[in-house]
Structure 1
């Protein structure tokens, strides 16, 4: 058995390469200088004793939106403290809150904690109008300039009550600013025009990082995380990176794979971190291209498995029809054949079936997720086209990761496992 403390390691600070934003946050974002300048302009009025603008900050996940907003509001808070300005920043993470009501209860709790310290109870049992009135009362009790950050606000879906009412609130002696952050570009577009006009006085887009930007981000992270790894010029981190641990192709391959997948900096950092951990666990002194490729395959497989485990019942049943075709040797089954099998599955577990059109939508969703491959072929002259589906992953991976739901587990044991024996 391995013992802690007895092993050499390529790491000097694992936190620096950990993609968890709670573990490490950079104190600058050089690749987002333009976006930070836009945020600066949004917040600048507060430094002059006026009301900062409302803003919508949007872009895909992993683009530095939350970190960028925190960097600029922390900078503003420090300026306010040094210059005797009455300023307060309240950050509410809205992930998992599917109603304006939930956002309002958490905002009210956060405002009360600004006044009384941590430990305030989450309010419950109030109507939305009452909650809004209570929020305004708390804002007036705090006073001065209050910047409310609603992070991942797209969680509320179509229930935009909070986004309509809060920017229109006029608490006495309070300069109120709302910053909404969203990963969902369609959410921003779907908002009512009145909401967009009031909340989006400024709109700041964080577009996906390209491979060159990701290279620089990874170089800075590696220089603080790995032994014998340094950069000579903070303005040109990749070009001046010197490392006895990373081979020359490790970071370029990592950044290229991440840029190709999503341009997500967190995913790029996660990929390099996993590659370095593979090398470290194997007792190797260098992180090579092969470690990166192994890490990419590992993370893709893990993402697919998580996706399968979280599938709702109808999508899981659709997946199982294609899996059944695979284990029975049926090549590229058509939608109508899969639907007939789906009806058998529903009857077996006493589940209500959906229409063939909706069933086809479930198959297409699985194809969009990379779990299935879809091929569209013609039936012949004048007979139209048909979709055919096959697994992009191993059948065993599907069955292993769908076995937690009791009805699905019975279906697998009764109708699919026997076909594999």
Structure 2
């Protein structure tokens, strides 16, 4: 058994490579200077006694939106404190809030805590109009300039009452600015025109990072996180990286993987962090391309397993029909054959069966997620085409990750598991 404290390590400060933003946040975002300049322009009126603009910030996850806004609003708050200006920034994380009502209750709580200190209870039992009036009253109690950040606001879907009403509110003695952040580009496009015009006085897009930008981000992180690793030119982090513990091809490979997948800096950092941990745990003194490849395979498998574990019932049943066909040796079964198996499974589980058309949609969703592969073939002249499906993961991966589902566990154990052991 390994013991703590007796091992050599390549790490100097693991927190610098931890993708958890609560563990470490960079003090600058050089790859986002243009976007931060746009945000600076929108917030600058506050420094002149005027009202900052409302801003809509959009782009995929891991592009520095939340961190960038935190950097600029913290800078603005520091300026206001130095100049004895009355300014407050309120940040509401909307993830998991599927209605404007929930956002409003959390916003009211945050405003009260900004004025009275932590420990305020979440309000409940009020009508939306009453909640809005309470929010306006609280803003007037705070006074001055108030910047409200609604992070991951797309969680509310089409229930956009808060986005329509709050930018139009005119609390007395308050210069109110709303910053809405979304990862969902379709949410932005689907907003009512009136909402977009009032909320999006300025719109700032954080586009995906490219491989060169990700290389520089990882180089800066590595220089703080790993021993014997430094960046000698801050303007060219990767090109000036000098390290005794990172092989020349490790960071480019990690950056290429991340750029190919999503351009997500958080995913790139997570990949490099896992590669460094693999090397360190193995007692190896150099992080090489093999560790990055190993980390990529590990994270891909983990993502697939999480995806399977979170499947809704009908999609899980669709996956189990293809799994059953694989177990019994059926090659590339057609949708109709799989739907027949599915109907038997529904009878065994006392679950409501869906139509073949909707069942095919579930199979296609699984193919889009990389859990199944789909091939469209012709049946012959004049007979049209058909879709055929196969697992793109191992049978055991499906069974292991669905067996913990209380709805499916005993069914898998009794119906599918015995056949895998024969």
TM-score tier, shorter chain, comes to: over 0.9
- In the aligned structure 1, how far is the partner of 2:180 from the partner of 2:152? 8
Query: What residue number does 1:189 align with?
Result: 189
- In the aligned structure 2, how far is the partner of 1:97 from the partner of 1:62? 20
Q: Alpha-carbon deviation of 1:353?
A: 1.0
Query: What residue number does 2:58 align with?
Result: 58
Query: What residue number does 1:21 align with?
Result: 21
- In the aligned structure 2, how far is the partner of 1:257 from the partner of 1:174? 47
Q: Alpha-carbon deviation of 1:2?
A: 1.2
Query: What residue number does 1:132 align with?
Result: 132
- In the aligned structure 2, how far is the partner of 1:241 from the partner of 1:169? 51
Q: Alpha-carbon deviation of 1:17?
A: 0.1
Query: What residue number does 2:251 align with?
Result: 251
- In the aligned structure 1, how far is the partner of 2:216 from the partner of 2:250? 13
- In the aligned structure 2, how far is the partner of 1:34 from the partner of 1:222? 24
SS in 2 for 1:346: helix
Query: What residue number does 1:359 align with?
Result: 359
Query: What residue number does 1:344 align with?
Result: 344
Q: Alpha-carbon deviation of 1:404?
A: 1.6
Q: Alpha-carbon deviation of 1:112?
A: 0.2
Q: Alpha-carbon deviation of 1:405?
A: 1.8
Alignment of 1:89 onto 2:89: yes
For residues 39-91 of structure 1, the C-alpha deviation after alignment (integer angstroms, 9 at most, x for no partner) is 01110111111000001100000000000000110011111111121110000
- In the aligned structure 1, how far is the partner of 2:382 from the partner of 2:67? 56
Query: What residue number does 2:273 align with?
Result: 273
Greater Cα shift, 270-279 or 358-367 = 358-367
1:109-258 alignment to 2 at 5 Å? Answer: 109-258=109-258
- In the aligned structure 2, how far is the partner of 1:403 from the partner of 1:45? 57
- In the aligned structure 2, how far is the partner of 1:275 from the partner of 1:406? 35
Q: Alpha-carbon deviation of 1:407?
A: 2.5
SS in 2 for 1:255: helix
- In the aligned structure 2, how far is the partner of 1:201 from the partner of 1:387? 47
For residues 80-139 of structure 1, the C-alpha deviation after alignment (integer angstroms, 9 at most, x for no partner) is 111121110000000000111110000000000001111110111111111101000000
Q: Alpha-carbon deviation of 1:406?
A: 2.2
Q: Alpha-carbon deviation of 1:5?
A: 1.1
Gaps of 5+ in 1: none
Query: What residue number does 2:48 align with?
Result: 48
Structure 1 runs (4+) deviating above 2 angstroms are none
Query: What residue number does 1:376 align with?
Result: 376
- With normalisation by structure 1, the TM-score equals 0.99
Alignment of 1:2 onto 2:2: yes
**Count of matched residue positions in the alignment of Structure 1 and Structure 2:** 421
Query: What residue number does 1:31 align with?
Result: 31
SS in 1 for 2:408: helix
- In the aligned structure 1, how far is the partner of 2:308 from the partner of 2:257? 23
- In the aligned structure 2, how far is the partner of 1:157 from the partner of 1:86? 34
- In the aligned structure 2, how far is the partner of 1:411 from the partner of 1:4? 43
Query: What residue number does 2:284 align with?
Result: 284
- In the aligned structure 2, how far is the partner of 1:283 from the partner of 1:208? 35
Gaps of 5+ in 2: none
- In the aligned structure 2, how far is the partner of 1:124 from the partner of 1:243? 55
- In the aligned structure 2, how far is the partner of 1:127 from the partner of 1:404? 40
- In the aligned structure 1, how far is the partner of 2:270 from the partner of 2:281? 16
For residues 384-421 of structure 1, the C-alpha deviation after alignment (integer angstroms, 9 at most, x for no partner) is 11111111100100000001222311221222112212
- In the aligned structure 2, how far is the partner of 1:33 from the partner of 1:180? 19
Query: What residue number does 2:328 align with?
Result: 328
Q: Alpha-carbon deviation of 1:354?
A: 1.1
- In the aligned structure 2, how far is the partner of 1:383 from the partner of 1:150? 54
- In the aligned structure 2, how far is the partner of 1:406 from the partner of 1:351? 14
SS in 1 for 2:407: helix
Considering only aligned residues, what root-mean-square deviation do their CA atoms show, in Å?
0.6
